Amino acid sequence: MRILHVLGKLDRGGVETWLVQLLEHVDRSRYQMDFVVHTTNPGAYDEQIRRLGAKIIPCLRTNRPIEYARRFRKILAMHGPYDCIHSHVHHYSGYVLLLARMYGVPIRIAHSHTADPEEGAGSMRRAYLGAMRKLIAANATAGITVSQLAGDSLFPSWRNDPRWQLVPYGIDIERFRNPGDSATMRAALGIPPAARVVGHVGRFVDVKNHQKILEIAKELCPADPNVHFLFLGDGPLRPKIEAEIASSGLKSRFTLTGNRPDVPHVLQSAMDVFLFPSKYEGLPIALMEAQLAGLSCVASDAITPESALNPLLVHWMSLSAPASAWADSLRKIFASADKPAVAPAVRNRLSIESCVRNLTQLYDSQLAERSTAGKLLLAQ
């Protein structure tokens, strides 16, 4: 079965990391996967994707529908035929799946990864979002949502439509088997061995709310000389955040590593608590990985509750609560001797192997349905 995934870019992010792990664990002799991206800039995962035998094919001009359609059709003609288009570009999936239907791709899947709210959207934006939802409903043969909130965002009637199903992300649990030595990791990062480390993993974009973390740091650091903040990730707002850290006089209390391939090891060996004040999420892999690493977390209650793998591990906070309240939650975790863990059954349910089984079952059932429908048409 030949599957073409459509996404923006293969950089280090939750969705992209999941797709790489999917490609690593799927039976590539049965499921050949390629990737359409909406950029010609290299992505962090490009080389790894190609080593696994997949093609990366740029398709540009998403803001020019006619030109994008020509390029998309050319890709299908040159690299196809494909049995399935699996689109990960949220609302734009409506147009992608319309083109896939026009060009004869039998299986068309929309995948909702985020719970992007529409508050403050102008009339043109609301019209666009509504039109894309209608195109998804009209052209998708199946839909996947990673959480209930993500489903509500893209498939308003998903609970009553048998085409849509909830399939949580899978995580490569094996990457959490060998945590490594804490002293060695902290020394490599330049973090004092006795520091109480507040960690965060996420792109430097508005939704991840690094600004809130800075406000919390200003509450914690003056009263506790041992508190240290560790950021993993990169993105367009990083220079702004770095400048604000410096202007606040807290540069020595922060370590920013950029993107790293060893996130599970850093979570387990360098952090004491995880801070995640996102404005919204679909199903944040970073928050789930932090729990798998054994970290207690302080997180925004705007995030989908399914991301709490153990209710005792996640302390939910309102974004409207003052930074002092968030700081108090962190202090309580530092003072607590409790070490809750994620139950083995939950770990198994979230394994990448379980996710691969669920996804390939969907692919196979879709292929069987299309084959049966084709035979019925021929019989008529």
Residue 55 has pLDDT above 60, yes or no: yes
Handedness of CA 253, 256, 257, 260 (dihedral sign): positive
Check if the beta carbon of residue 82 is closer than 8 Å to that of residue 94. no
Q: Among residues 45, 73, 77, 72, which one has the least CA distance to residue 61?
A: 72
Question: Coil, strand, or helix at residue 89?
Answer: coil
Same fold yes or no, 2-170+351-379 and 174-335 = yes
Q: Are 144 and 167 in contact (CB under 8 A)?
A: yes
**Of 212-226, 263-277, 331-345, minimum mean pLDDT range:** 331-345
Residue 29 has pLDDT above 90, yes or no: yes
DSSP H helix total and E strand total for the chain: 14, 13
What single letter denotes the amino acid at residue 122?
Answer: G
- pLDDT tens digits, residue range 136-159? 999 999 999 999 999 999 998 899
pLDDT score recorded for residue 370 = 83
**Is domain 2-170+351-379 in CATH 3.40.50.2000, yes or no?**
yes
- Taking alpha carbons only, the member of 198, 230, 167, 152 closest to residue 299 is 198
**pLDDT(379) > 70:** no
Residue 79 C-alpha from the chain's centroid: 27
- Token code pair at residue 26: 């799927």
Q: What is the pLDDT of residue 373?
A: 63
Lowest average pLDDT, out of 121-125, 168-172, 270-274, 277-281, goes to 121-125
For range 251-272, the mean pLDDT: 96
Q: Is the pLDDT of residue 162 over 60?
A: yes
Average the pLDDT over 350-373 and give the result.
Answer: 91
What share of the chain has pLDDT > 90, as a percent? 89
Average the pLDDT over each of 58-62, 176-180, 252-256, 260-264 and give the range with the smallest value: 176-180
pLDDT at 222: 95
| pLDDT value, residue 79 | 97
| Per-residue model confidence (pLDDT) at position 92 | 97
pLDDT at res. 119: 66
**The predicted structure's pLDDT at residue 264:** 95
pLDDT of residue 253: 97
pLDDT band at 298 (very low <50, low <70, confident <90, very high): very high
182-222, pLDDT tens digit by residue?
999 999 999 999 999 999 999 999 999 999 999 999 999 99
For the residues 316-341, what does the mean pLDDT come to? 95
Contacts 24+ apart (CB under 8 A), 23-27: 23/49, 23/52, 23/54, 24/52, 24/172, 24/352, 25/170, 25/172, 25/352, 25/353, 25/356, 26/356, 26/359, 26/360, 27/360
CA distance 184 to 231: 18
Of the pLDDT bands very low, low, confident and very high (cuts 50, 70, 90), residue 180 is: confident
CA distances from 227 to 212, 221, 327 (A): 16, 6, 11
Mean pLDDT over 68-85 rounds to 97
% of the chain surpassing 70 pLDDT: 97
Look up residue 235 and give its DSSP letter: -
Measured between alpha carbons, how far is 50 from 44 in angstroms, rounded to an integer?
12
Q: Between 235 and 119, whose confidence is greater?
A: 235
The closest alpha carbon to 54, from 3, 118, 129, 107, belongs to: 3
Domain ranges of the chain: 2-170+351-379, 174-335
pLDDT of 380 strictly over 60:
no
pLDDT band at 133 (very low <50, low <70, confident <90, very high): very high
Residue 177 DSSP code: S
Q: How confident is the model at residue 122 (pLDDT cuts 50, 70, 90)?
A: confident
Between residues 122 and 27, which one has the greater pLDDT? 27
Provide the edge-to-edge strand list for the sheet that holds 56-58.
56-58, 32-37, 2-7, 84-87, 107-112, 142-145, 164-166
Q: Phi then psi for 165, rounded to 5 degrees?
A: -145, 155
More confidently predicted of 338 and 240 = 240
As a whole number of angstroms, the distance between CA 8 and CA 312 comes to 35
Top-level class of domain 174-335:
alpha beta
Q: Can you tell me the mean pLDDT for 68-86? A: 97
What is the end-to-end Cα distance of the chain in Å, rounded? 27
What pLDDT is stored for residue 323 in this prediction? 97
Q: Which residues contact 301 (CB under 8 A, 6 or more apart)?
A: 316, 317, 318, 319
Cα gap 5→87, rounded to integer Å: 6
